[in-house]
Structure 1
Amino acid sequence: MFSFKYMPLAAVAVLMPAGAFADDLVFRFDNNSSYTVVELYASPSDVGEWEEDILGRDVLESGESARVTIADGRRACEYDLRVVFEDGDSIEDTTDLCETESYAVTD
């Protein structure tokens, strides 16, 4: 059984002009499972389809981490995450990426 764990980012107030674009969402994705992650998706929760695979041709071996930047210009914070492992198993979860500094998948 796989599970996700995340560490909330300390709240920081930022003043932006009303017309400014949303900041990029940046978090560290940790593969603390014993399996290789071959696909990683993050889509706003109000979107009915998965966005492109974040890893592309890359994979994330067991014990590795990757810095993930979502620069889609949206103001959404709640994202659905989908992780696909080398054996074809997958898990899905929802998290607030505006409050997430790191996110980990474990066995």
Structure 2
Amino acid sequence: MKTYAIASAFLVLAHVVPTPTLAADRIVTIVNETGYTMVEFYGSNNGTTSWEEDILGDDTLPHGESVDVNFDDGTGHCIFDFLAVFEDGDQVKQEDVDVCKVGTFTFN
């Protein structure tokens, strides 16, 4: 009877406690294959009207390198717009990226 109570408690907890496999994964690997160093990168959910802060901060993303970015901003949004700024001043904007489904996004 003691085993049954422990097993029942475990089953209840398994249904109450969220697990990472049930949550949407919003980590995307950003890859730079442009031939230029990325000096700024922005990613904002399409429900906002601003680009927020530069995700790279003081860092850069050289050609051939990648960085993992967690786009979980607490809003539950999956659709994000990306803006990359490169050392030569070029800007590349990509709208409507589903960060819940895309594991890697390559700028080339």
TM-score range relative to shorter protein = 0.7 to 0.9
Please state which structure has a larger fraction of its residues in helix: 2
TM-score scaled by length of structure 1: 0.75
Give the distance between the partners of 2:75 and 2:24, measured in 1 at CA. Answer: 8
Name the structure 1 match of 2:100.
98
| AA in 1 matched with 2:103 | E
Give the distance between the partners of 1:16 and 1:84, measured in 2 at CA. Answer: 43
CA RMSD after TM alignment = 1.9
Report the more deviating stretch, 48-57 or 63-72.
63-72
Q: Does 1:70 align with 2:71?
A: yes
Higher relative contact order (CA 8 A, sep 6+): 1
Contact 2:34 2:107 in 1 (8 A): yes
| AA in 1 matched with 2:68 | R
Structure 2 unaligned residues grouped into runs of 5+: 1-14, 18-22
Give the distance between the partners of 1:44 and 1:67, measured in 2 at CA. Answer: 17
TM-score scaled by length of structure 2: 0.75
Please state which structure has a larger fraction of its residues in strand: 1
Q: How many residues align?
A: 88
Name the structure 2 match of 1:40.
41
Name the structure 1 match of 2:27.
26
Which structure is larger by alpha-carbon Rg, 1 or 2?
A: 2
Name the structure 2 match of 1:58.
59
